[in-house]
């Protein structure tokens, strides 16, 4: 090495000339570049944004086709893994995104432009109230659940909680900033996402999947709690009731609705005879079962106890 005009830096020079932090102006330039790219391109496919455009709970913009392909793709796919890294688990169904309805400037040019080396969108989005362009230079918001986009200043200045285009009601917390950069806006959106998750709601304010199953499990748990949490003092009474039920089943049932005395007495006799027969059958069955087993008190016969010489047939003696 040599004669090329270059030099090898020493350790002392590297320590002295360490990497310096970016200035505020440089940070703003980087943020503007990122904002321009995010306002014009889909972060997953890197294609230009075109209607229909959807937004996740944090205000990021995507092509609707990209989200549908992500949801329909199989697990283990490389493209799906890349999309999951970009989405961060915020989108599990189409209910987790809201279609943003931008007003398109018809007088604007429709030719594709290049921004930071990437192809930008051809549509020019404007605020329907102020006719100003919505982009990285101006703060823009959209409303949930209708999805209409406006300039941020318009929503603040106009009093009321209904959309200026469709007159649909919305809450103050459902004003979503598009591609927010302020830490307060990002924190508010993440907190809103957690609150909706606790209420079993999605970003579009629709019920999440599995709501019916949760209700069924809750009903089963409440029913189980009511049966198991019975007072302890009623255990003895329940046992007595069981004994009474057994006795009532064993006893003959007499029909009290019979008004004639003779018929009542006849039915009583018939039932008593039937009960006696049942008892005899049970005794006979017990006797048959006992006959199968030999009792220990029975004495062995003399023929069996004799030896093999005397065992056999014996002639009975005549008397």
Q: Has residue 73 been placed in a domain? A: yes
Q: CA 224 from chain center: how many Å?
A: 22
Residues 180, 217 contacting (CB under 8 angstroms): no
Q: Which residues pair with 103 in a beta bridge?
A: 126
40 located within any domain: yes
Total domains, the chain: 1
User: What would the pLDDT profile of 145-199 be if each residue is shown by its tens digit?
Assistant: 999 999 998 988 876 789 999 999 999 899 999 999 999 999 999 999 999 999 9
* DSSP label of 88: T
Predicted confidence (pLDDT) at residue 318 exceeds the cutoff of 50? yes
State pLDDT tens for residues 32-59.
899 999 999 999 999 999 989 999 999 9
| Containing structural domain, residue 34 | 23-208
Residue (of 133, 131, 141, 156) closest to 40 by Cα position: 133
Alpha helix positions (H), 152-260: 152-157, 183-198, 211-228, 235-250
Cα distance between residue 36 and residue 64, in whole Å? 20
Residue 312 lies in a domain: no
**Residue 237 within any structural domain of the chain:** no
Which token pair is 140? 């823009």
Residue 131 lies in a domain: yes
- Per-residue pLDDT of 6-34, as tens digits, reads 778 787 777 776 667 778 888 888 888 99
How far apart are the C-alpha atoms of 126 and 298, rounded to whole Å? 112
Give residue for tokens 């010489």: 309
Hey, how many other C-beta atoms are within 10 angstroms of the C-beta on 213? 9
The CATH number of the domain holding residue 95 is: 3.30.40.10
**Residue 132 covered by a domain:** yes
């Amino acid at each position: 090495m040599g004669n090329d005009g270059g030099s090898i830096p020493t350790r002392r020079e590297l320590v002295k000339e360490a990497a310096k932090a970016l200035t505020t102006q440089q940070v703003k330039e980087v943020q503007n570049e990122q904002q321009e790219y995010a306002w014009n391109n889909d972060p997953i496919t890197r294609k230009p944004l075109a209607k229909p455009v959807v937004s996740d709970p944090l205000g990021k913009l995507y092509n609707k086709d990209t989200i549908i392909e992500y949801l329909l793709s199989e697990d283990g796919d490389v493209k799906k893994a890349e999309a999951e890294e970009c989405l961060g688990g915020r989108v599990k169904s189409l209910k987790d995104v809201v279609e943003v309805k931008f007003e398109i400037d018809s007088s604007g040019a429709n030719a594709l432009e290049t921004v930071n080396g990437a192809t930008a969108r051809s549509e020019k989005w404007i605020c329907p109230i102020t006719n100003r362009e919505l982009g990285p230079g101006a703060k823009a918001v959209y409303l949930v659940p209708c999805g209409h986009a406006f300039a941020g200043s318009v929503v603040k200045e106009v009093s009321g909680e209904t959309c200026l285009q469709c007159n649909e009601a919305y809450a103050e917390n459902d004003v979503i900033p598009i591609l927010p950069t302020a830490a307060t806006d990002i924190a508010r959106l993440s907190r809103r996402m957690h609150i909706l998750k606790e209420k079993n709601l999605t970003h579009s304010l629709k019920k999440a999947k599995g709501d019916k199953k949760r209700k069924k499990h809750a009903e089963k748990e409440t029913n189980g709690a009511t049966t198991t949490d019975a007072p302890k003092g009623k255990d003895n009474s329940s046992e007595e009731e069981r004994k009474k039920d057994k006795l009532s089943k064993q006893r003959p049932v007499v029909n009290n609705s019979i008004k004639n005395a003779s018929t009542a007495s006849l039915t009583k006799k018939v039932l008593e005879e039937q009960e006696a027969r049942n008892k005899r059958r049970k005794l006979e069955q017990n006797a048959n079962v006992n006959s199968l087993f030999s009792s220990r008190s029975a004495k062995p016969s003399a023929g069996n106890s004799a030896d093999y010489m005397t065992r056999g047939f014996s002639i009975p003696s005549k008397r």
